[in-house]
Amino acid sequence: MPVLSDIPGRVLLVGAGKMGGAMLEGWLGLGLDPAKAAVIDPGPPPEVAALLEGRGVALNPLNGGPPSVMVVAVKPQVAPEVLAKVAPLAGADTLVVSVMAGRTLAFLESVFPAGTAVVRSIPNTPAAIGRGVTVAVANDAVTDVQRRIADALLRATGGVEWVEDEDMIDLATAVSGSGPAYVFLLAEELAKAGAAAGLPADLADRLARQTVAGAGELIARSGIEPGVLRQNVTSPNGTTAAALAVLMDANRGFGPLLAEAVAAAARRSRELAG
Ligand SMILES: NC(=O)C1=CN([C@@H]2O[C@H](COP(=O)(O)OP(=O)(O)OC[C@H]3O[C@@H](n4cnc5c(N)ncnc54)[C@H](OP(=O)(O)O)[C@@H]3O)[C@@H](O)[C@H]2O)C=CC1
Ligand SMILES: O=C(O)[C@@H]1CCC=N1
């Protein structure tokens, strides 16, 4: 298992917003030499700009030779324009790692010279606290060493799942890439429902946040199946059973609603393919 300090040359991050910034923070935290990192971004957010300045990471360097790894973390919609500018910075041995939703291996391969090693991946925002999960697929040009380097970079922000079938990336985007938003929405709506039922709004907000955070942590730490944890809350004919009769309704409960949401997200991921 290579560590980040084993990466031979530079890691060039293109786009240092929410996702790119979180990854960079993870890499530096795990020992990537700031002198071997560089960022291309015309206007990184203030917290990322402070990180770059504080750690001495080069921003928009004019030269430096081809990087070992180019990580692409700009919005998929601007990818053609941005990559047309940065693709010439890659060399024959540069590994390209994309975290862009939708943008396919075929699109990425069309932008870089034939034979370029490309990994397409989809992380999620708990990456910011090292609790993300990334799903990744490699093209045929990626060597074993490059795959281990990509794995080390992606693993700096949480777990990594490699797949062979690229279609799985659109589906993973709909589950884990966008998934944190579904959970945050649950916290928002639980707080609203509590307030609507009569709790003071600030108390409802604290209860909802702590409940979502505590339940997530219980899944993570206990290793117990979510279904069993749910049953552990549910006394026969008690309050939870009354609520779950609504939430587990076969027609209008969480099940069909989430299935529809996941299908919509996967469809959008395919539309963003380019
Ligand atoms: N946010 C998420 O939960 C996830 C995002 N992703 C993917 O990550 C990518 C980035 O998303 P996110 O971090 O949320 O978006 P952000 O908008 O926060 O980050 C994109 C960054 O790229 C910068 N940028 C714009 N133009 C250029 C350019 N020409 N050269 C270099 N950088 C440029 C933007 O600057 P400016 O703001 O000034 O335009 C911004 O700082 C997307 O492709 C998205 O699909 C994947 C999984 C989860
Ligand atoms: O909403 C999006 O398109 C990006 C990809 C997954 C999460 N955020």
Measuring from atom 5 of ligand 2, which residue has the nearest CA?
101
Residues 6+ apart with CB under 8 A from 64: 10, 38, 58
Residues whose beta carbon lies within 6 Å of some atom of ligand 1: 14-20, 40-44, 73-76, 78, 82, 99-101, 122-125, 177
- 47 C-alpha vs ligand 1 centroid, how far in Å? 14
pLDDT score of 274 = 72
Burial 70-85 (b: 16+ CB within 10 A, else e): bbbbbebeebeebbee
Query: Average pLDDT of 187-215?
Result: 98
Whether the pLDDT of residue 2 is over 70: the answer is no
Whether the pLDDT of residue 143 is over 70: the answer is yes
Which atom of ligand 2 is the closest one to the Cα of 272? 3
pLDDT score of 64 = 83
Query: Average pLDDT of 160-182?
Result: 98
Q: How far is CA 268 from the centre of its chain?
A: 16
Whether the pLDDT of residue 18 is over 70: the answer is yes
ipTM of predicted assembly, 2 dp: 0.98
Measuring from atom 31 of ligand 1, which residue has the nearest CA?
41
Q: Residue 46 CA: which ligand is closest?
A: 1
CA distance 244 to 241: 5
Q: Up-side HSE of residue 85: CA atoms within 13 Å toward CB?
A: 13
Query: Average pLDDT of 241-248?
Result: 98
**pLDDT band with cut points at 50, 70 and 90 for residue 133:** very high
pLDDT score of 63 = 79
The pLDDT mean for the chain works out to 96
**pLDDT band with cut points at 50, 70 and 90 for residue 208:** very high
Query: Average pLDDT of 64-71?
Result: 94
Q: Which domains does the chain have, with CATH numbers?
A: 4-169 (3.40.50.720), 179-271 (1.10.3730.10)
Whether the pLDDT of residue 157 is over 60: the answer is yes
Measuring from atom 14 of ligand 1, which residue has the nearest CA?
18
DSSP calls for the chain: ---GGG--S-EEEE--SHHHHHHHHHHHHTT--GGGEEEE-SS--HHHHHHHHHHT-EES-S-----SEEEE-S-GGGHHHHHHHHGGG--TTPEEEE--SS--HHHHHHHSPTT-EEEEEE--GGGGGT-EEEEEEE-TT--HHHHHHHHHHHHTTEEEEE-S-THHHHHHIIIIISHHHHHHHHHHHHHHHHHHHTS-HHHHHHHHHHHHHHHHHHHHHH---HHHHHHHH--TTSHHHHHHHHHT-TTTSHHHHHHHHHHHHHHHHHHTT-
pLDDT score of 3 = 75
Whether the pLDDT of residue 269 is over 90: the answer is yes
pLDDT in tens, 184-195: 999 999 999 999
Query: Average pLDDT of 235-255?
Result: 97
What burial class does residue 161 get, using C-beta atoms within 10 Å of its C-beta: 0-12 exposed, 13-18 middle, 19+ buried?
A: middle
177 lines ligand 2 (CB under 6 A): yes
Query: Average pLDDT of 152-167?
Result: 96
pLDDT score of 128 = 87
Strand partners for 69: 11, 95
Residue in 173, 182, 271 to alter for ligand 2 test, most ligand atoms within 8 A of Cβ: 173
Percent above pLDDT 70 for the chain: 99
pLDDT score of 225 = 98
pLDDT score of 5 = 81
